[in-house]
Structure 1
Amino acid sequence: MFAGKLAFFLLLYIKEDAESMRQPTYGLLIGNLLMVVLALPLNYYSDPAQLAWRQPEMDFINQIGFLMVWGTALLFVDLIGMVLLFERLGAVVTNTILGRMFISLAVVLSFDQLFFYLGLYLVTGAPLSAFYGGWIAKIGSALFFSVMLTLYLRFVEKSPLPVGVRRATDVFDRLTYRHRYEKLVGRIGKDPLTGLQDRGQLDEKGPAMLTEALKSGLPLSLMMIDIDHFKAVNDNHGHAEGDRVLQAVANALLNAKREGDELFRYGGEEFALLCPEASAGAFMLAERMRAAVADTVHPKLNRSVTVSIGIATCPANAKDFRELLMLADAALYEAKGLGRDRASISAMSAGEYR
């Protein structure tokens, strides 16, 4: 059975990557540890007279628990060794899948049998014949599963297999490839300071949302939001404090926006908010967001932080996203010109702006 597990993990490595191979191992280890933890209270059962006919054999349970954890710990070492051997064999011994599988499994299973027998001997005093009997069975299993997997890869899974031999460092790098890839994908399109969507996401989502709004006949409002006198924060309190202010403002805007709105960091101290179906209520929403920012406490500043907001709506102001962006920006400058800490709605169409 253990040989079958290793063969399964090797198949995962060949067809997927080592991250996929490693995940089931975590499940095995956690499951075995939970079984040991659940059995621990039995050691403290202090009423042997009650249910005496079904008292647990604690020595046996503790031995099994130790061997389960020891065997799973060995499995981690086995997996790394098996991957290294499988890759190395392609360069120095054989490049056939059958040969690489069998030799990898045979060597790793021999190593595992030796160290598992040592644990078994220390716990139970098992005779040497247990080592030889288990080793012969595992080598036979290695041959059986190698043949079965080779036939499976040849006649069932006919997609191309990875070719070439990697260095040991490449193999270890592959152990976390998928995890690092998923983290990288999660960071793409995100502003690293605030965690908001970045300008690129606005340029991609804005036109798509505008097109959908025109098709559905529902309005789409765009807000351009700028922090008032932000340069003074950097000049008087340093850029580190300026970064904290940006993060605090971003969180305030996130908490104040509606569920379907899309918030972006446009650049510097400026943000953009796309608001579907918010034509009539866009100004009220802008006022709510402005108030949320003004109410945010900044412990290291001796003043509140405010924002100015410019609003433009499709199709009332423009039917092109670039024009909508220009009109919202113009409304933002109008809000700043009127004294800041306020929202301004564009009253122009794209043709009037030009």
Structure 2
Amino acid sequence: MIALNILLLMIEALVYFAVMTALLHWRKRYGLGVFLCALGVMHFLETYLAAFFYIQLPFGIISPGSTVLFSGKLMMILLLYIKEDALTVRQPIYGLLIGNFLLIGLLFIARNHETVQLVTSRQPDLDFVDEMGMLMVLGTALLFIDSIAIILLYEKLGRFFARHQAFRIFIVSAVILSFDQIGFFVALHYVAGTPVSALWGGWVAKLGAALVYSLMVTAYLRWFKDEPQNERRASLRGVFETLTYREKYERLLEETGRDSLTGARDRRSLTSEGPRLFAEARREGSTFSLIAIDLDDFKSINDTYGHQTGDMVLQQTARKMLANTRKTDHFYRYGGEEFIGICQGLSSQGSSALAERLRTAVEASPYQNVKNVTVSIGVANFPGDGENFDQLFAKADERLYRAKRTGKNKVITL
């Protein structure tokens, strides 16, 4: 019986892998949608088998749904990423998340129907529907986390195991499947009362599945090179942002006039809003202040610590300065490491005090391993320093660079 169970597991894994990789391999001919639909339709079956269908192996009790189908699905998601990119693989990741939650929602709505009993021996098992619904929720959430995590870990280990792809795939799949085994067992134990003995057996089985699928994936990648594999990747941060639709958020910020890195208003917004705000202040007889801010020695920060650290410094600097402006003030990233603040209703002494507060806030902020982050600031006011927005801007800019030439980390207002 045990030998038959092992044989059937191997056949199931081979059939699953053969069909799914064939659909993936022919995606250029028949479209990626065929592969994606095949990937998604079995989630309910996977969850059902993982919860209620067990077999005996020498090392314990395991479920084919979890060992073969779920492990295979996760490996197919990783394989799709290897063959394509993060932009493509996020489609099934989010499609599975949305589709499974839709299924769960419809199940819970449908269970409230007033049913008609057509066959006396058959009645809807609502307790089973509730159990499956809860397991689907937890299983779907785990699948979403697993899918992103396995891709990020695969990229992370690329630096160490670039020439040992089979080992690299095995390590990442073994780690993520171990995490999944613990997470889903907690759900099974809570919902269905699954005994702890199933945790050990299922974990060993998933390690075995990780090994078998890793060997098959590596063989497929070596034997079927239908197009150049995408070995050159973006940064780990870039992959994560693509998988989580971060670039969509950044594009939305850009379309709404926000700088995607710092959250400040962008240069295009300054160009359109600055003259209008000045005209309003002049028409209403109000004061108007323009504050030009530039990080000191920012190039050396990039050169010494790298551009990611430079981006972090820009983000924290902008966040600190935004926190020290009034709600009525306007704050823009003009370009690079330069920012512009626009204030209405402040006296020249008030704008000087605000600029000094910004300078002090930046100087006092901790920046991890970067020391001595400071800013130089130039301030121009209406009336007194110009008759239009461009004149104020030029005056503030001139004072800013005078501050930089005369020692940096200072505010110049005259």
User: TM (normalized to structure 1)?
Assistant: 0.47
Q: Which has the higher contact order (CA 8 A, sep 6+)?
A: 1
User: TM (normalized to structure 2)?
Assistant: 0.41
